[in-house]
Chain A
Amino acid sequence: MSDSGEVVKKKSRKPTDGAFRQQRLPAWQPVLTPRTALPTFFIIGILFTPIGGLLYWSNSRVVEIKLDYTNCYRYTEPVYLAKHQYTFQLSQELNTSSFEAPAYHYEEASTFLNPNWQNPNNLAIPQCIIDFTVPQTMTPPIFIYYRLTDFYQNHRQYINSFDAGQLLGDPLSPPGGNCGPLRTSDNGSSIYPCGLIANSMFNDTRSNLTSVNAATDMTYGFTTTGIAWPTDKDKYGPTRYTPDSVVPPPNWAQRYPEGRYDAAHPPPDLSQDESFMVWMRVAALPDFRKIWGRNDVEPLTEGRWRMRIDMNFNTTLYGGQKWVVISTSTPLGGYNPYLGITYMAIGGICLLLGMIFTIKHCIKPRSLGDTTYLSWNQPGGGLPNNKSRKPIVKSLHQD
């Protein structure tokens, strides 16, 4: 209805002109031609190979000692470790076979190496004594790790079996909850710390290193502080449980009288237990190493050293191994040659491909914008040839 009084100017429906609306935005349209594709291969090859070499070289400067002490409990007399049970990674060219191999045996002890642990039940504690040679002086920071194999910390239900609130210090809220089968004990009292992860904590304890055969008795200590991430420390707090309202997890029970906490044997202060925090960070793979201690100051001089380990954690049950790993570090972390190797491999492959394609291009070149390749310049004109089109009139072809 047009208004008689005023002339309403009808808005034009003309589309607005503009680079965006007309889809004419300035664009970079790279065309994949041999002149761009082939150099790419070479560039990648030329870049990656040296990077890989550099990485490999840098990594080889790490000193790393790995010892498998899984079977220590079998030997009451010292035995040398078999070749596959230990490795040395050295930054210098040294003949490892000239060193004395590591040796181990166990002794029964009556106290735990961990000073915070008492032994109310008077357990006989198998203590593994490992003697090993440090072939070259290691420079700080030096880290000691334990390595477990075939331990599936990444099991779907295992990884969720903890209670963040309880670890922060709050009592478990009654119903529901996250701790899976290890939430409360049979008599109904809460387990602290609850859950499968805490229960299965790696509880071997190691001593400091003491020198063997050295002129002076030297000890080399690893501290357990500063092994957990600061962010992890925020997740734990002193518990507000009274000792007798909670029970330790089943695997911890032997350390406590009648398997219960009491005033003399209070629950551990998790907020100070960095080893526990490290354990609670579930590992991604079934073969993992976790930090056991560190020394940021002293160098570990070459020579033979002794370490005692309480064998509390039974890996033979499930067929796993436990190792102790002592390692130095580089700006790129611990010993890991694979990255460098892969870099070199990828670089090499690219160089090879580049060459193959260049040769191919030289033998069978195609000029840029060769119109004979256009489908409409080929027989049939590049028009679709549907199958349904042929057999339509069969009867007619007979006559």
Chain B
Amino acid sequence: MELPSREFDEKGKRKNKLNVSNRIRTAKYTPLSFIPKNLFEQFRNVANLYFLFLVILQCIPVFGVVQPAVSALPLIAILVITAIKDGIEDLKRNQSDNRVNNAKTLTLNNWKNVNMPDTTGGFFASFIGFFYVMAGIDNKYSLAYRTSLAKRKNKKNNNNSNKNERPRRGTEDKLPLTDLNLPSSSASSQHQLEHPLPAFHHRPMRNSSKFSLRSNTLRSMFRPPRKPYNPNKVRHSVLYRIDSTPAPSSRRGSTVHPALLPPIKTPLEGPLAANGDVAWEPTAWKNVNPGDYILIRNDEDVPADVVILSTSDPDHICYIETQNLDGETNLKVRQALVATSEISSVKDCQHAEFYIESEPPHVNLYQYSGVLKWQIQDQHSMNSEVAHEKTEAVTYNNILLRGCVVRNTEWVIGVVVYTGDDTKIMMNTGRTPSKRSKMAKKTNPHAIANFVILAIICIISSVMDSVLFRSEGSPRFFDFEISGTNGSYDGFMTFWVTLILYQNIVPISLYISVEIVKTFAAYFIYSDIDMYHAETDTPCVVKTWNISDDLGQIEYIFSDKTGTLTQNVMEFRKCTINGVKYGLGTTEASMGAKIREAVEKRQSKHQTDDGNAFYDNKDNDTKTLNNNDSTAVLDQAKREMYQKQAQLFTNNHVGPNPTFIDPKLYDDLADSDTDQASFVTHFFMTLALCHTVIAERPDEENQDRIEYKAQSPDEAALVATARDCGFVFVGREANTVHVQIKGEDKYFEILNVLEFNSTRKRMSVILKPHDSDKIILLCKGADSIIYERLCEEFGGQTELQKSQEELRESTSVHLEDFANEGLRTLCLSYRFISMEEYKPWNKRYLEASASIYNREEKIDEACEAIETNMLLMGGTAIEDRLQIGVPETIAELAKSGIKLWVLTGDKTETAINIGFACNLLSQDMDLVIVKGQTREETRAQLEEALRTTNTKDDRKRALVIDGTTLKYGLEPKTKNMVLTLGMRCNSVLCCRVSPKQKAQVVAMVKKGLKVMTLAIGDGANDVSMIQEANIGIGISGLEGRQAVMASDYAIAQFRYLHKLLLVHGRWSYIRTSEMIMGFFYKNIVWTFILFWYQIFCQFTGSMMFEYALVTLYNLVFTSLPIIFLGIWDQDLSAKISLMYPELYRMGLRNDMFKTWRFWLTMLDAIYQSAVCFFFPYMLLIGGGAYPIGLDQNGIYEFGTLVSSIAVWVANFFVAATLYSFTWLQVGIISLSILVYYAFVCIYAQFNTFIFAGHSRVFATGMYWLILILTIVACFIPRYIAMHLLHQYKPYDNDIVREIELVQKKNKKKSADKSSPIEDPSTHPDGEGMYGIKLQER
């Protein structure tokens, strides 16, 4: 079919470029672009630019640098190290890209796709193409190059492939749809442009010349007369209806993990069989083009976004797993297009003629609209040109997205619509904004301070040089005016010379070293076995590597509740049916509620909520059960319950671990005459019918075992409980639901499923029992939503009205109770629909679902129309249990001084109960509840709350704030009030907040208080919050991967936060700050030694150290120990860090990285540099230091001597800073010093004129004496300061270290006395915190 002319511009080229290759590139670099691009990236760093400038400066001969090449060494080393690091990172991405791109899938071969431009561009084009490919640019040249490559391969394999194909062709006779009119055109072989065409095709096949191919006919073929395939004369072409927007250029990693195509063991049969030359052939993913037919078999990955034409399933559905896209492991159903659902063979594909109008690619994963269009011609008057077009909507339900995996479906045939960067998954893998740690930001002023110091000493040098220019001294008389003609010029020159001389003051390697240190920190976090969750096989995954020190300074944690604090494992606990409550057992939250009651009784002033009345008349059963040993009672009840069930009917499908327990249910069911029995039956039938769950039988041997997979765990829990109670959802076939009600098989025809979404907050099914003509709508949803849509007009049925009103009353009371116990509630309702009402509605609904524009809204409107006038049945209550260790973790975090804000969608009461259950709220806290409905009310309440909390006492408070209130509270005027209130409270609970509000709250605290914030969540609704906070943490749990994708750290359980912050964060903070200080220190020492020397050389800028030593000092002689300090040092072991969570406050107060500490370090460094210079200087002012009298006072000898001392001192500094000495640390410090000596000794052998045999300096006794003396003298002030600080102003960790020391000694003593005195304060050994806590639970 020709493409319509409107698709081309004047020059005959396609307007809409479709040749987006399916090749994806998440890698940043290609072999060709690596060097320029990486260099560009690196020189965006100002420090690197500065050093480049210095290198250039040193290349100017006038500044007298002898070996400019050496000067570039450090910079080159830094650039190379960084480039290697980037390269390795990128190589991994490249490899995974390649794996993805070269994964194989089956596409229809030997068949011309009109959507693709000609790619045969001749040698030149493929030559250019090579470079484009290397440069990672996708265009026609690169395409040409790839095609030419492929061709070459083809030629090579020609013979082989022919042979290989023969057996496949042999299977032709087994074709299920034996099409008769097939020409035996198999003779014509590989050429791409020759298609096996049937004898009677009408349109002339325009053979392709190079430049007209775009308008080439794909295939015009009339349907063979007896073809079972329905839509007449369907032509195939994919067009975009609207200009496809150019895809954004930067993209990041895809999560597609294709595996290799499984070897084909048996010849392809059935639809998979080849038809002539046209066959399904394995094609690399990268060669898949829009418009290609594609065949995906069971368990294969989908290589591109594909419209499903047909599937192997008789109902034309297929199942997919979308874990790569949204992390949901449950199966989802996708539907083939009706019009094409009969396509089942290669030939059908060949014959099909249709086109798909598709919307341009966009980001939304859950939306797609396109239209399938095909022409229908009158079958009998073939010649008449009368044709009309038929259309079918292509929706989200009809497409497979790249990254999905096909499951439980033998094969799927589809047409590719989006490839490569246009696919939804690629459009969704946006890069999270890059973050910089607080300390990195705070380092900058220090770096600037160093620049200022540099400027100062350069200016001093140059000014002094000018001043001394005319002074008495040898240069004037022996130097032949080499310094220039006048003092100012000389000073000017000296400025630049000293800039070179003092270059080390700006730590070139600081930035890369910090990166290295944090990379290691990330590695250690990743490999921490305490943060590994065995059940889900997930370690803590670090996604942002450079903010580990921020983990040690978090002041506010914002946490989601569901799935973060709770397990997101839904357990059906209770229900209310027709006003009767069922379900035994108690929840963690109801224990929390008890605590709360006690608190509330105590503080009468906070009696603000009206729900209190209900607490006093709590259910008896709950209360009595609470008092007893609940598990034993519950087991007993469970047994009783299933005995009763067995008496009534047999249920083979009871699941392994029922969560809903109440024997009373069967007592009520047994009285089949009562209303209650039928209510119960209807209630559970509704649960079994009203859902979108898929039933699976995982156990082949035990077919009775049914498991449910659903979009939401709540839904699965509901259906599973119905199953356990004897209302088994057996399965769904086409539109029929098969259920087993109390042992009886029943079938219902599903007319419509009105699906759940977050705006509707409800779902309904409309169904018709097979044995009746009634049409029933069953609906379940949030209580507020359902109550709004309940029947108001009873049309005189007063009895019904009365019972309904009572029911509503009691149900809402019960639901309130459930909510108070921390349960998630849903309401169930139903209505009967008359045929007269149903038919027009159904028409409207179908129209809405077929529309292309605003489909969602239209569907919602249609649904709204039918979901009214419903009658209430009852409600369900599901428990989402707290995760293991959550209360303990929250308590520990609270101790550490971190404030926790829980942002939840729950109702206030539920949230408070959960708050008590998880230690967020405690008995001794004053609850400040702010709940306003209007702006004014909010303001008044906030003011009131502020007044009451404005006391000086140290009372603990907790703020509970409602979503509506928060909406007004977050307005600019009242924002500060909320903030102040939040600050005065130890913990804050925000209820009923929307995702956007979560982010707003985080932003408010982050910007308002200028503190470090951490957000933790697991769902898509937490993404904005996670991205807003300084550190975002995703729980890699059950609810999808969006949160994890957006996060900086992904952990499996909330409790790991404990170790992540209190151990890794604290360590990282202390290490990084000590390390940065050390870096500045060692550079100052070195630079100032050179500066002191200027006093003795008239500030002419002479370098007393051999130049190689200057350039290598930072890089080789001193960097490793300080880096390894940053990697390994620990003030206290992990165990003790966890034992004293309060230690975290050191990071909160920023004890270690204070400005005064920086300046003290600088001062100390200057002092030490003076000692390092002037102590050895003493050797020069007397007689020679060498016993055999020879001179040893040469400039470079002195320089060698001083530099060795400086190296010692710089490395000793690390030793003085270290908290713990491991063999590694000691080894590396010694190694660094040894490397210095080795270097000097080796370098001295290369008899360069100025540096020959200088290693002999080390052979004199004087040298070692002065070395020891200098080192000791250097560290005396530091040691004094350390001693005094430690003794009279100790840091917390100093004290704790002392405590540990004392305990160790005591233990030793008691061991010696062999009388174990149990010190009450001794801490348990061996087991980590978690171990103990878990045992307690």
A residues within 8 Å of B by Cβ? Answer: 1-5, 10, 12-17, 21-34, 37, 40, 44, 48, 51, 55, 62, 64, 141, 143, 145, 150-162, 164, 167, 180-182, 196, 199-200, 227-232, 234-235, 251, 278, 281-291, 294, 317-320, 325, 327, 329-339, 342-343, 346, 349-350, 353, 357, 361, 364, 366, 368-371, 373-376, 381-384, 386, 388-389, 392-393, 396-397, 399
Contacts and interface: CB of A to CB of B under 8 A. Distances in A.
Contacts of B1187: 329-333
A364 B1284 CA distance: 12
22 contacts: A1-B262, A4-B298, A13-B532, A26-B1222, A32-B1286, A40-B1279, A62-B1183, A153-B474, A154-B1096, A154-B1195, A155-B1100, A180-B482, A230-B1253, A289-B1183, A289-B1193, A331-B1261, A334-B1183, A336-B1185, A369-B1298, A375-B1146, A384-B1145, A386-B1011
B946 interface: yes
Contacts of B1300: 369
A333 B1221 contact: no
10 shortest interchain CB distances as A-B pairs = A334-B1183, A336-B1182, A231-B1253, A369-B1299, A27-B1220, A164-B1249, A284-B1198, A15-B527, A369-B1298, A1-B259
Given A23-B1128, A346-B1276, A374-B1295, A1 B537 contact: no
A200 B1133 contact: no
A388 B1297 CA distance: 33
Interface stretch (B617-625, B680-688, B753-761, B1265-1273): B1265-1273
Interface in B1090-1109: 1096-1098, 1100-1104
Contacts of A346: 1269, 1272-1273, 1276
A320 B1266 CA distance: 29
B128 to A, nearest CB: 36
A53 B478 CA distance: 43
Interface in B461-512: 472-483, 497
A48 B1104 CA distance: 29
B1287 A366 contact: yes
Contacts of A30: 1221
A282 B1269 contact: no
Contacts of A388: 1008-1010
Interface stretch (B106-114, B344-352, B977-985, B1016-1024): B977-985
A44 B1272 contact: yes
A282 B479 contact: no
B262 A333 contact: no
Contacts of A155: 474-475, 479, 483, 1097-1098, 1100, 1102
B138 to A, nearest CB: 26
Contacts of A335: 1182-1183
Contacts of B752: none
Contacts of B478: 158, 196, 199-200, 251, 318
Interface in B183-237: none
Contacts of B382: none
Contact of A392 (B524, B1008, B1253): B1008
B1227 to A, nearest CB: 11
Contact of A13 (B482, B539, B947): B539
Nearest to B1099: A156
B301 A1 contact: yes
B1098 A152 contact: yes
B829 interface: no
B553 to A, nearest CB: 9
B900 to A, nearest CB: 14
Contact of A4 (B262, B1149, B1178): B262
Nearest to B61: A176
Contacts of B1273: 342, 346
Nearest to A380: B954
A203 to B, nearest CB: 12
A338 B1148 contact: no
B480 A332 contact: no
B897 interface: yes
A232 B1252 contact: yes
A108 to B, nearest CB: 23
A15 B1096 contact: no
A19 B492 CA distance: 57
B1096 A285 contact: yes
B246 interface: no
A14 B529 CA distance: 7
Interface of B: 64, 66, 258-260, 262-263, 265, 298-301, 405, 472-483, 497, 524, 526-530, 532, 534, 537-539, 555, 897, 943, 946-947, 950, 976-977, 979-980, 983, 1008-1011, 1067, 1096-1098, 1100-1104, 1128, 1130, 1133-1134, 1142, 1145-1146, 1148-1150, 1175, 1177-1191, 1193-1195, 1197-1199, 1219-1224, 1247-1250, 1252-1253, 1256, 1260-1262, 1265-1266, 1269, 1272-1273, 1276, 1279-1280, 1282-1283, 1286-1288, 1290, 1292, 1294-1302
Given A55-B1265, A373-B1295, A396-B943, A22 B529 contact: yes
Given A150-B473, A338-B1178, A381-B897, A31 B1102 contact: no
Contact of B1222 (A17, A27, A283, A399): A27
A306 to B, nearest CB: 23
Contact of B1184 (A284, A333, A337, A371): A333
A349 B1097 CA distance: 32
Interface of A is mostly: loop
Contact of B480 (A156, A182, A334, A353): A182
A281 B1194 contact: yes
A16 B1298 CA distance: 32
A318 B1297 contact: no
A239 to B, nearest CB: 16
A339 B1301 contact: no
Contacts of B526: 15
Nearest to B1254: A231
Contacts of B1142: 374-376, 382
B983 A389 contact: yes
Given A13-B537, A14-B534, A375-B1145, A156 B946 contact: no
B292 to A, nearest CB: 19
B480 A181 contact: yes
B1148 A317 contact: no
A158 B1102 CA distance: 9
A350 B1279 CA distance: 11
Contact of A393 (B946, B1191, B1288): B946
A371 B1269 CA distance: 38
A158 B1184 contact: no
Nearest to B1141: A376
Contacts of A381: 897, 1145
A384 B1253 CA distance: 57
Given A181-B482, A397-B950, 7 more contacts: A156-B1102, A160-B64, A232-B1252, A284-B1193, A336-B1185, A388-B1008, A393-B980
B1105 to A, nearest CB: 11
A361 B405 CA distance: 73
A285 B1180 contact: yes
Contact of A332 (B1193, B1195, B1221, B1262): B1262
Contacts of A16: 527, 529
B447 to A, nearest CB: 24
A29 B1136 CA distance: 13
Contacts of A397: 950
Contacts of B482: 157-158, 161, 180-181, 196
A291 B1186 CA distance: 12
B1180 A333 contact: no
B1010 A386 contact: yes
B1140 to A, nearest CB: 8
Contact of B1221 (A27, A32, A154): A27
B1003 to A, nearest CB: 15
* Interface core residue of B299, B950, B1008, B1287 (most chain A CB under 10 Å): B1287
B1222 A235 contact: no
